[in-house]
Structure formats: C-alpha cells, structure tokens
Chains A and B, each alone.
Chain A
Amino acid sequence: MLISLSWLSNYVDLSDKSVEEIEYAMNMIGFEVEGTKETGIPDLPKVVVGEVLSREQHPDADRLGVCEVNVGEEEALQIVCGASNYKVGDRIPVATVGARLPGNFKIKASKLRGVKSFGMMCSPRELGLGDDHDGLMILNQRPDIGKPINDVFTDSDTVLDIEVTPNRPDCLSHVGIAREMAAYFGKALTYPILETDFDGIRKTGEPTLISEVDVQAPDDCPNYYAHSIKGVKIGPSPDWLKQYLEAVDQRPINNVVDITNFVLLEFGQPLHAFDANKIGGNKIVVRKATHDEKIVTLDEKERTLNSDMLVIADAEKPLVVAGVMGSVDAEVDDNTVDVVLESAYFDPSGIRKTSRTLGLSSDSSYRFERGVDPQGANFAALRTIDLILDIAGGELVGPYIQAGTEPVIEREIELNPQFIRDIAGYEISDERIREILESLECSVSDGGESWVIKVPSWRGDLYRPADLSEEIIRMFGTDQIPESPVEVSGLIHQDANTASLNDRFSSYLAGQHFQECVHYSLRSGDEASQWFSRYSLDTLKLANPFTSDQTHLRVSLIPGLLDTLKLNFARKTGMERVFEVGKVFHEYEGQVFEMVSVAFAIFQPDRDSSWKSREEGDFYTAKNILNALGGLANVNLEGVGYRSLSLGTSIWQEDHSAHVGSFSKQGFEAKLGMLNVNLVKEWDLEGTVLAGAFEILPERIKASGKIVKFKPFSQFPPTEKDLALLVDDTLLAETVRRDLHKITKRAVNNRYELESVSVFDVYTGEGVPEGKKSLAFNMKFRSNDRTLTDKEVGEVFNTVQQEIESKTSYELRS
C-alpha cells in the first residue's frame, strides 16, 4: 500500500516528525516499510524566494556577477553568481547560509575570487527538480519574497510503500494509517468535514436517476447505496487531486473516476460511478451471474462468469463484476452528464472467490475480500458526493436508494487491564491502556476491575482481550519490552525418537567420511516410473504439482545422491562419499507411508586420481555401513538376514546387491550393494557406485534410552576349532552357519559356552566339485569357570562332525 505523507497530512499533523521517524513508527506498529519514494523537491529549509535588486560585474572574473538579493530580511544579501540568464527584478530561489541542497551540499558564507557571497541562487537541478542546469530557475509566477521554496512548490512528497497485514484492511487507506500514526504519536486525527448529509443538504427535489436497486443476492450484498448526481461536467481533475493519485501510482482518468479512486484510497471504501444513461432499463440489479455470462472488464478483456459470481447489472446486462471491476459498458466517460454512485458492502469471501477464479485483482477487490468497514459505505458515499459536487459540479437529486441494511456491529470486549500486564510481563498503567484504546477509537467504559471496550466497526480483527493486548503492546512500543534472563524449570521429556535417530545416523556417517547432502523431496514422474515401477505411482503423485520435474513424493534418497555425485563428478570437485537423512514415501496396498530414511553412496571412479591406490570397496563395504546404521536404529540386520536381490532390478547390480527386512512384516527395509552399472553410466558417472538405503516407519523407532545391564564375562582363554564344509554354491553362508551353530550348540549342551561360529574362508576351485563351495568356519568355545581341556572340546567337535555327516546335506571337507 502506497501512502503519500503529504496526503496523510490532511488527517494528522506530522510536521514535527522526520521521514525517518515516521518510517520507524510505521515499522514498529506493524506496517513494514518496504520502500520510500520522494517526489517533487525535497524538504529544503532555508531556501526561500529572493528578488535580484542589483547585478554588477565581478571585478576579477568575467563570468561571475555580484548581486544584491532581497530575501525578505532587513538587509539584502550579497551573492556571487555564475549564471547569466537573469536580470534585475527577477525572482529566484535562494539557498541562504545554513541551507542544505540535495547531495548534502551545505551553503556557507564564502569568498569567490575575493568577493564575499552569502548564499546561492539556484538552478532547477540544484533544487533536485530535474536535470535543468542551464541557468537560474526564474520564478515567473513571482511568489512572495522570503517565502520558503517548499511553500512555492507544494508537490513535494514522500511516498512510503508499506505492507498491510491481512488482518488490517482498515489500514488500506490514508485515514486508516493516519489513525495509527495519530495513536502512536499522541496526535489528533482530523476527518474531512462533510457538507452533504443524510437530510439532504445540497440536494434538490428532482427524482432519482434510476427507478430501483434490486438486490437478488442479499447474502453477498448486505447493503447497497445508490446516489444520483445530475449534470456533472466531466473533465480533468484539479492538480491537487492528480498529484495525490500520481504520488500513489494511480493514473488520473477524469474528475469523477478520480474522485472515487481518491475516496477509495482515503477511506478504503471502494465506490463505483455509473453513467446513468448507460444503465439499461433504468434499474440496478445485484444478482448472481448466469453460467457462461460474458463481460468485458475495464482492462478490455472478456471475462466468462459463473453462477457463483456476483454482478451489478442493469435490466439487460452485467455492468460490473461486483466489487472487482466495472465493464467498458457502464464507464463514466467524457460525455457523461448524469452519474449514479454505488457505495456498497459485499461479502468478503464471495469477492475473494470471484477474484481468484477470474485471476483478476483490483484495488477494489483487494479491499472487499479483506473486509471493508461494514458501516463505512455511507460516509464514503457522502464524501464522494461532496467532492464531485465541488469539482465536477452537478447536483444531488432525489432520495438515495438503499437496498439492504447497514450491518449491525456492536462488539464489546470485557477487559481486565491486569490481563494486559499478565500477557506483556511488564508494567503498563491502566491509564496508558485506556489512552491507547481510546486513541484507536475504542470506547472504554468507566470503572471497576473489568472494563467494557466497544470496538469501532472497521476493526473486525478485535474481538477478544488477546486482540486488545496486541493493540496495547504495539502502541505502547515494542521497544519498551524489557530485556530479561531466560527462566527455566526442568521438564523430564526426551527428544523425539526420530530426531535422535537422525542425529545418530548423520554423526555416524559424517564420522565415516561421508558428506551430508540435502535434496528436494519431490522428484519427477519419469524417474519414479523408471526406478520404482513396482509402486503404484499415482498414489505418490501430488494433486497440484508446480513443475514437471517435481511431481512425485520421493521413494528413495538414492536418486538425489546420484544427482549429486553426477554434478560433482562433472565439476571435478572430488566428492565421492555422500549421504542424506530424510523422509521418503512408500506405497503399500494403495496407501502412502512416510518413512524415516538414511542413504549413502560411495563413488569409485575408474580413474583413480590419487598417487597411491587403495583396494576398491565392494558389497561388503556397504554392508558394514548398513549394519551400523541398522544398529543405530536398534535393528540387528544380520539377525534379520540379508537376501540377494535376485529380481531383475533396474537400480541395483544383479549378484552384487541385497536387501534385508520387509516393510509389511517388520516396518523397515534396506537395500544395499553396487548400483546397476548401466544406470550409473547413464548418470554420466565413470566408475562404480556402492550404496545403501535404510528405511523405517517412524512409529517403529524405539527410544534409545534403555539402561544397559552389565553381563559378567569369562576370564579364561577360548578354545577354537576350525571346520570346512562342502555345500551347494547356491546356499547362503548364513544358512549353513546357523545350521552349524545349532548343531554345535546342541553338542555343547550347556556344559560350557559356544561363543561364536563364524565364516573365515569361502573357496571354490580346485578340489571343490562343480556346483559346490567350501565354507570354512571357526568355532570358539569358552567356559566361565575354567580353561577347557582338549578332550572336552574334542568330544563336542566329534559329535558335531558326526551330526553333520548323518543329518545334513553338507559334506565335511578334510
């Protein structure tokens, strides 16, 4: 909202405040100043009108003149001047000693080539009035000598661009802002004085220009006034009006239209002036548009309306999209003589809907949809009539027509002033509270602990004590909120499980030399279908995506990581280990599930750029990391069991990738290994990528705060046995290991402990038949109370071997 300070000065006197003070005040009471614009000449104290009394040649400089200049003081000033376009008797602007011209040019008493000079006669450019610097500015209209130049050029103005929050439609006007300024600075607010009034002063007895106003949609239009003005003379607006409008970026059109715009920006009440002769059938109908009804709005675009939209129509056609914009058909133009003036209150939500649907916003709709003063239509109409009669002539005829009634707003808030102090937490006296409320035109009932506050009709945002607290804190000054220490009482609560898990994930991976990355949560549909075709992707699609590359909720963190590896590879930044922690979305049986996820990727470029090469990582590198991540989530992935990803998958490299867990059974799942080499190539990466991704339902994440229970451990050495088995090469090592573990455990039969059974060698090749592999296991036995003898371990070992031979398909390998 643009606010002209010179316009504002009609309602509140801020002449003792600098622009900076006014800007500060605006900011601090809730109207953020987003820009400031100066028009006309700036404020120039000590620059006054002078008259040249005499002009002599400078004794030592051909180009300089020495003048006596009358600036309205007792003695004339001697001024040395380099211009030549003036003569004795001319009136010119004179910057006297102490004046400051634009560019912070300070005028001092000085000597020019030995001749004293007490000021400067000015060119337009020196005053900040354009670029003309050809000579002095001759004031041909001969203003009074000594008159401040700012009184001669009164179009100087400062325009502030302020943000008005949606709760304050009353401040979408100069009077609204003036009221705020008056309240903040403790000044009086002056309303324009109306000459027209309800009783018909300035009104003749002639009949009204239209026969009726028929409101067929009273919910959308609770109150409608139509006033008739006959015999106006359309023409350009007077300068003062044009200047105000131009200052706030409004294009002057003609006097009547300008006046309605002026009043809109003065009081925030939109008005519409109809050319009475263009109202067909002599009546105004306020109705819903018919389906597909057409109207050409003032911006010369044809609009197609629907039956939710309110129009102001005549007997035949719509003339205005109500509260939004008029049509070219009912415009006041140069030939207009008779005017019907509309001043109405429309339901905000209807206007908002219409404006959104049409994609058409205007100063009028902007105000109606936020809510104009429900009781403001009348005053604004009378103000407009005043101005029309004064400026465009004509006469008010007939009784005005009112359709509907002025909405009744009687809002009273019971307020205990102590409540304000309780919310603020610092002292604000009862007296000050009352003063502030009254300055905002609230009436405050006398007496007692509890006051009754009557709120003015334009303050629809005030209906509870909390709302009043804001008004008081605001006007009291938020710079009065004292500084104080933070006071804390302890609460026994814990961080969300998801939050602490994410922290653990990222600290672990950063510690493992991974760099954290962050990617958008929305990805393209193409990618989703290429990578995750097993999901029903429509479920993951947004109803209203904004760009085609961000249409779907992400299913995995891996594509983002690949993007990052690609970018960094192309840019040769050397980043090879990346991770992300974030939400991903699974589709399961038609439902979306939000999952906590962590994923990492390691790029292994074909060309090693290091002076010393290291052994490349492989599936097991990824597995080690993934196990750790699972552990951080209190999930033992080895225990759950890794399975090869045998399904033809486009993401993972066959025979070098695996999965563990299942979304539907366990609420978590993970995939890991080498990414499909072709896919990696498509991503323009020359090398291989190892990756892993772990996903878990947030509700599955357990708090990590379990208190550890210490278990004593043996002080005796272990006894170890090794055993190699020939098994089918399709078998998972873990399957065999578990079988062996079970058999061995049974053989030990709790006489001592079987501490571990672990694979230490996998072999195929010479000595191992086709279709088989050799798995070598190490078994570790230990007792809590003694060193085990070879004999007791040997017995168990024999039993184990016998069992394997007799009860399994595994073959002992000697």
Chain B
Amino acid sequence: MEDTLKALVSEAEEGIPSVHTRPEFEAFKARFVGPNGSLKEAMRDMAQVPKEDKPRIGQLLNKTKQALEAIFQTALDKIEAAELAAKLGDPIDPSLPSPDPAVGGLHPLTQVRNEIVRVLKSVGFIVAEGPEVETEHFCFDALNTPKDHPARDLQDTFYLPNDATVGNVSKHEDERYLLRTHTSTVQIRTMLEQEPPVRIISPGRCFRRDTTDATHSASFTQVEGLYVDKGVTVCDLKAILDFLMKSLLGNDAKTRFRPHFFPYTEPSFEMDAQSSHLAKVGKDWVELGGCGMVDPNVFKSVGYDPEVYSGYAFGFGIERIAMIMYGIDDIRYFYQNDYRFLKQFS
C-alpha cells in the first residue's frame, strides 16, 4: 500500500510534464482522482489495511492526496498561464502599425463648407437647401434675369429635355428644367416660404456648361448668404464679409468691394480679400466672390415689399476658396479623389 501510494506520486510527477492542455489535464487528473482513479482505488483498499496501520496509512493517503493536488495545481497553473498567453498572443511591439483602417476624413470641400457654415452660424445664419434640378423660374426669372440673358443659353446652362417632369420640383409656369447655375435658387424658395427676417446660407452643388480645365469645372460648389430685414445696409454687408474673412483667413484679413453687375443685386460688388496668409501663397488682393444688396425686383418676385425691407446677399465658390486657402492649383483634384490629395486635409 505504501509503495502503491509512493508509486502514485512518482507516476504523477513523471506524467505531468507531458500534460499541456486542459483536456489532457482533466484526463490525467481523472486517472488519479477520478471515480475510477488510482487514488480512489487506493482509498477503497484502505478497508483491507489492518487496523493498527490505518492511522499511518491514512496519513500517508492524505499526504499523497495533497502531493497529487499540489502537482495538479502546479500543472493547472501552467496550463492556465499557457491559455492566457495563447489568448493574449505574442507580446506587442509598440512600434508596429495598426492593421486596422486609417482614420477617415471629410473631403476638403466639405471642410471648407463646414467652416464657412460654422462661422456664419455663430452670427445667426441657418443652413437652407434646395434641389439641384431646378426650374428656369427659380434660377433666372425670380432673380431678375432677363429672358434673353446669355446665362440662359443652351451653351451655358444644362437643361433637361422639354418634356421632362421632375416629380418633386414643380414648375412655376411653362418653363424648362435645368441644373441650377447658382444656389440663389434656394434664397427664392426660402423667401417664398417665410416672412422676413430671413438669415440663411445655402451651400450646394451647381452646374455650368463649361469646359473642365485647371480652373473651371462643369460641376462646382457654392455657398451663398442672404439677410433680409428692415434697415439692412451695405455697411452690414461689409461687416459680415469682414467677419467671415477674418475667421477664415486670419484676423488681419481685409476685404474690399469692387462695383460689379449681377441681375439680382443692386448695388453689386465683387469682393476681394487680402491677408498675410494669402500673401504667403503669393497673392495680394484675391477675388473671392460676389455680393450686393438684393435687387428690389427680386423682392417683388417673392412678395416682399422693397419699400419696407432691404437685404444683402453674397456668394462664393467653395472650390475657389479652398484653392486659395490651401494653394491648390487645379480644380480637378477635388473630383479625382486621390487619397494623397484628400488625406492632406484629414
């Protein structure tokens, strides 16, 4: 009996190094302490042990049991450690790159738009939007653009076929559908829907039937602003554009107005900006957009009384602003989506 028990321990000691996994361990353990295990057998054999030997053998049995348990525990610890190690994997190399996708990002046109929107929202503008497929009424008529204005020509503006119907853009009268040439259409839609005061910005995609080259694109993005209220002045217009340009180009940015002509504003101006940032990209005064006081005829077309209300409007090409801000020399980069271009702005 004594020998059996001793043999048991040494058997366990010898066998345990080849036990590596949990199932192996359970099977191995069962060989000794399982219901039919050898220790159980030995315990059953206790009955045959002479009475006087019982305490000693009993003690021995206990010791054996403890020794086995210690062996098992050590083995189990090892297995658990191995399992944990397997679960954790190799130690990391903190210098290795993550295999997961790189950071995402917004397109530079979206970023510039968002920045303009953010600045203008801080002074009470809200974003208004409208359809890209528009009617001549919203794109031209309501904006005081004469019937035979060159901008309406087939060579300058994209039209849908005469019999086309746009389910969710209704015609004003019998007129053609077109791809809007500016987002001023949204100003008209907004003014038709609500009474002054109106303070909106309308960013969005526009189209002109133009050859695409480094500085022209048949598709481009605009952001326009409109403020209508009692007593809005040229001075207010200058103030908002100064504020916007300082926010975009730095606190030293300045604007200047050069008189110009647009059918929908009177007086009309082109706005130039100047800043030390622009000086770094080698520009002095840079033409950035158009602006002016809303033409009384536009007010009439939306049912506002031009004797009571006045307002200003301004508009920029987002591509142009982005090109000037970042020193980009070809407008086509925006639509090509080369990652090496896009991620510079992420």
Contact = CB atoms under 8 A, between A and B. Distances in A.
A793 to B, nearest CB: 33
Contacts of A479: 256
Given A514-B104, A594-B133, A697-B168, A470 B259 contact: yes
Interface stretch (B31-39, B51-59, B67-75, B335-343): B335-343
Nearest to A541: B161
B99 A544 contact: no
Interface in B200-240: 200, 203, 205, 207, 209-211, 218-219, 229, 231, 233-236, 238-240
Interface stretch (B4-12, B18-26, B40-48, B260-268): B260-268
Interface stretch (B79-87, B124-132, B135-143, B273-281): B124-132
Nearest to A421: B233
A576 B167 contact: no
A170 to B, nearest CB: 13
B88 interface: no
Interface string B82-119: 00000000000000110111111111011000100000
Given A27-B258, A583-B132, A564 B159 contact: no
B197 interface: yes
B168 A593 contact: yes
A174 B107 CA distance: 48
A303 interface: no
Contacts of B158: 522, 542-546
A99 B133 CA distance: 63
Contact of B268 (A470, A482, A487, A489): A470
A699 to B, nearest CB: 6
A30 B127 contact: no
B270 A699 contact: no
Interface stretch (A86-94, A490-498, A709-717): A490-498
Interface string A321-365: 000000000000000000000000000010011001000000000
A518 B337 contact: yes
Contact of A515 (B104, B148, B240, B293): B104
B233 A515 contact: no
A500 B166 CA distance: 24
Contacts of A517: 107, 337, 342
Interface in A464-501: 464, 466-467, 469-470, 473-474, 478-479, 481-491, 493-496, 498-500
B28 interface: no
Nearest to B341: A573
Contacts of A484: 235-236, 238-239
B207 to A, nearest CB: 7
Contacts of B192: none
A92 B65 CA distance: 128
Nearest to A164: B261
A217 B113 CA distance: 53
Contacts of B161: 538, 541-543
A30 B256 CA distance: 12
Contact of B126 (A167, A352, A494): A494
Nearest to B231: A422
A518 B107 contact: yes
B238 A467 contact: no
A521 B219 contact: yes
Given A516-B110, A522-B218, A488 B339 contact: no
Interface string B178-195: 010000000000000010
B166 A522 contact: no
A592 B338 contact: no
A124 interface: no
Contact of B293 (A30, A423, A567, A582): A423
A568 interface: yes
Nearest to A508: B104
A725 to B, nearest CB: 32
A486 B207 CA distance: 32
A466 B335 contact: no
A516 B267 contact: no
A489 B104 contact: no
Nearest to B218: A546
B205 A611 contact: no
Contacts of A612: 96, 99
A488 B123 contact: yes
Given A356-B153, A470-B268, A512 B104 contact: yes
Contacts of B336: 567
A513 B126 CA distance: 29
B165 A483 contact: no
Contact of B197 (A491, A563, A593): A491
Given A166-B261, A466-B293, A487-B236, A522 B231 contact: no
B251 interface: no
A518 B211 CA distance: 19
B338 A567 contact: yes
Contacts of B207: 521-522
B132 A470 contact: no
Contacts of B200: 493
A28 B271 CA distance: 11
B310 A423 contact: yes
Contacts of B194: 493
A506 B243 contact: no
B62 interface: no
B239 A30 contact: no
B99 A594 contact: no
A613 interface: yes
Contacts of A496: 126-129
A710 B199 CA distance: 34
A804 interface: no
A513 B107 contact: no
Q: Identify the 3 closest CB pairs spanning chains A and B, nearest first.
A: A425-B233, A425-B235, A470-B267
Given A486-B239, A520-B219, 4 more contacts: A353-B148, A423-B293, A483-B242, A518-B107
27 contacts: A28-B258, A30-B258, A422-B231, A423-B234, A470-B268, A474-B267, A481-B238, A484-B239, A488-B123, A488-B124, A491-B197, A493-B126, A493-B199, A496-B128, A510-B104, A513-B104, A515-B346, A519-B335, A538-B161, A543-B159, A553-B133, A567-B336, A583-B132, A585-B133, A588-B167, A594-B132, A614-B100
Interface of B: 96-97, 99-107, 109-110, 114, 123-124, 126-129, 131-133, 148, 150, 153-155, 158-162, 164-169, 176-177, 179, 194, 197, 199-200, 203, 205, 207, 209-211, 218-219, 229, 231, 233-236, 238-240, 242-243, 256-261, 266-270, 293, 295-296, 310, 334-340, 342-343, 346
